Structure 1
Amino acid sequence: MIEGVVFKKLSKYCDDRGTFMEIIREDEGILERFGQASASMTYPGVIKAFHYHELQDDVWYFPVGNAQVVLHDLRKSSPTYRQTDVYYMGEENPSVLLIPKGVAHGYRVLGNKPAMIVYFTTQAYRADQPDEFRLPYDDPSIGFDWKTKFR
């Protein structure tokens, strides 16, 4: 696992009224501070990748749909520098993923329905000074193959 990344399986509590899940709590120490919560819907098959931040950490959660999430460590001082990790998140695998600053990240929606991502950041977005740096989804220095593998 890339150094500094936290992947937490969520506990779902069910009764005759429905379900409940805690996504992230302040007493878990996952975020060093809280900046913003946002949500985005993405259509099936779409790839949103890659970008990274120099100042903020992200926490990702997919309450609707399913996604293949890809991380690539760009931090030269990290023992996992240039390592790529893949996580499967969403309805079929409820989980939370902490993405540290300096780790490029992106996702591809799996299946035939849209996915919804809810994400939390340690800083609020500033249009005048965005902490967002982009790389192409097919960046050769990452070399990730987004195609589904059939066995």
Structure 2
Amino acid sequence: MLIKDAIKDQQTVTSEGESTNTLLAGVKKHEVPNIITSNGITTELYRPEWDIGPEQIRHMIHAILRPGAISAWHMHEFQIDTIFVINGAIKLVLYDDRADSATKGQLNVFHLSRLRPTLITIPPGIWHGLQNLDYSESSFINYFNNPYIYSGPDEWRLPSDTNKIPYQFK
């Protein structure tokens, strides 16, 4: 017998392990297989034929998040971000607030880790935030179509607990 107010789980993945969520307009996702070798594991980070990320990589960073750290919310007017987690477990949340977007007002939530290598491309105008889900440092590589402009950053920010985005990090 069910307990009153129990909620049935909805399908989130197919039998092949693919997410059933629809990506926000312009967001691209590409899972990358790990290549098991005789001395370890090799993972390709980017190939042009994957059709993900900017046509030309102009800037790349490696970022480390402390345990439980949240880096949210930020958005770029011109910059394309492509994120690849290389250590730990990170939640990446995207919010589409673009006026002309077919997915305006919608969210994407990704749980990313080294165990299932995935590239996520975030187009301009998408608000995004990251949270380290691990009890140790997690890190990611982020590459861009434009280099960072020190004198005029293409960075717009809101606090992680803003009520302007319908998502709260926990």
TM-score (norm 1): 0.92
- Please tell me the residue identity of whatever aligns with 1:73: D
Which protein has the larger Cα radius of gyration, Structure 1 or Structure 2?
2
Unaligned runs of 5+ in 1: none
After superposition, the C-alpha distances for 1:88-117 in whole angstroms (9 at most, x for unaligned) are 001233211000110011111012111011
Of 11, 14, 27 in structure 1, the residue corresponding to residue 49 of structure 2 is 27
Of 127, 133, 154 in structure 2, the residue corresponding to residue 104 of structure 1 is 127
1:132 Cα deviation after fit = 0.6
Counterpart of 1:69 in structure 2 is 92
- Please tell me the residue identity of whatever aligns with 1:25: R
For 1:139 and 1:93, the matched residues in 2 are separated by 30
1:20 Cα deviation after fit = 1.0
Unaligned runs of 5+ in 2: 1-22
Counterpart of 1:146 in structure 2 is 169
1:44 Cα deviation after fit = 0.8
Are 2:70 and 1:47 aligned?
A: yes
Counterpart of 1:16 in structure 2 is 38
- What secondary structure is seen at the aligned counterpart in 2 of 1:82? coil
Counterpart of 1:57 in structure 2 is 80
Higher normalized strand content (fraction of residues): 1
Deviates more, 1:38-47 or 1:23-32: 23-32
Runs of 4+, deviation exceeding 3 Å: none
- What secondary structure is seen at the aligned counterpart in 1 of 2:86? strand
1:73 Cα deviation after fit = 0.7
1:138 Cα deviation after fit = 1.4
- Please tell me the residue identity of whatever aligns with 2:41: T
1:76 Cα deviation after fit = 0.7
- Please tell me the residue identity of whatever aligns with 2:60: A
- Please tell me the residue identity of whatever aligns with 2:43: M
Paired positions, count: 147
Are 2:28 and 1:6 aligned?
A: yes
After superposition, the C-alpha distances for 1:102-137 in whole angstroms (9 at most, x for unaligned) are 001111101211101111000000111111110111
For 2:118 and 2:130, the matched residues in 1 are separated by 15
1:23 Cα deviation after fit = 1.4
TM-score (norm 2): 0.83
Higher relative contact order (CA 8 A, sep 6+): 1
For 2:168 and 2:157, the matched residues in 1 are separated by 18
- Please tell me the residue identity of whatever aligns with 1:127: Y
